[in-house]
Amino acid sequence: MEDKTSQFKIILGSSSITRRTILAEMGYEFTLMSADIDEKAIRKEKPEELVMALAEAKADAILQRLPVDDYVKEVEPTLLITSDQVVVYEGVIREKPANEDEAREFLKGYSGGHAATVGSVLVTNLKTGFRKGEWDRVEIYFNQIPDEIIEKLIEEGDVLHVAGGLLIENPSVQPYVKQVVGTIDSVMGLPKALTDKLIMEAL
């Protein structure tokens, strides 16, 4: 696979393994930095506003730890990519489940119902200071999910670490996904087409 990043560098401001995987699949090389912010301290009523505000806060937190003056002087620009995601269920924003009971409640709600993911991507050019972000929404419809599958997912534990406890790429969940209106990469945390578009606009 060709390396698309020969004319610029990328820092992925995320500790998410799936975001790393998706960005690598897109043909980019990058370094990693995570933003240690208190996500609960940032509140917005609309999910689109919340994920954009969180991506901005993550970028700002990382910028404070970087020698920005050095990036301005470099010939090749460095792009910082930050993102965030929430799940929306019956109009309510869902972040990572607080515990197993909340994860169980979330998953039982999806059974035979529907949810949406709202994810943001923000690209900041450290050389020029240019910054642009957008969000992407995907609707997911479910068949009935058996209780034993829900218990298995909670026992495995991965659902506790993702927004809304929603893991449609998990092999145990896939048979119960009726329809996805949007892209799987967006559901997993990094919409490829939007990320590519913002990278091109930021250069």
Q: Name the residues annotated as catalytic.
A: 84
Nearest to 184 by CA among 142, 138, 145, 136: 138
Bridge partners for 12 per DSSP: 32, 81
Q: What's at 172, amino acid-wise?
A: S
Q: Measure Cα distances from 64 to 36, 55, 58, 59, 67 in Å.
A: 11, 15, 10, 9, 8
Provide the pairing of β-strand 131-142 with 114-125: antiparallel
State the angle between helix axes of 17-25 and 192-202 in degrees (0 to 180), rounded to the nearest 10.
Answer: 70
Q: And the tokens for 45? A: 């009523």
Q: What φ, ψ does residue 80 adopt, rounded to 5°?
A: -100, 125
7: helix, coil or strand? coil
